[in-house]
Copies of this chain bind each other. A is one copy, B any other.
Amino acid sequence: MEPFGALADPVRRALLQRLARGPARVVDLTAEHDISRPAISRHLRVLGEAGLVAAEDVGRERHYRLVAEGLHPVRAWLDQVTVVAGPRVPEHVLDALDLEVRRTGRDRAQTSPSHRHTQETG
């Protein structure tokens, strides 16, 4: 859940996009985001807890960089959902599935499978 929640905020997505092009300091990231530095700082903390960014201390500066692997759960979820949904099922096939699911739902409610009248499928 962590990475999904982290991606919900547009500022955090912009930060990740920026970091995808290379590491940056907090002041640099703040410079182009009409919000205060503490706000950016907290966004970075959220991203860090989600495993999407990592920081390295360089003197008094802190260099944040993208951790692309942190996005893996998101990609995996996306793949799972879209693959199971099937590769471009035509509309009329979805309709057929639709009727099927309705019948199943009713059967489950009263647990009597002898009640089927399969006159819709051809």
Residues of A within 8 A of B (CB): 1, 4-5, 7-8, 10, 13, 16-17, 20-25, 27-28, 56, 58, 61, 63, 65-66, 68, 71, 74-75, 77-78, 80-82, 84-85, 94, 97-98, 100-102, 105
Copies of this chain, how many? 2
The minimal Cβ–Cβ distance linking A44 to chain B, given in whole angstroms, is: 15
Q: Which residues of chain B are near A94, meaning CB under 8 Å?
A: 23, 65
Could you list some 7 contacts between A and B, CB below 8 A? A7-B8, A17-B84, A22-B100, A27-B105, A58-B98, A71-B78, A71-B82
Given contacts A20-B85, A85-B20, contact A101 B63 (CB under 8 A): yes
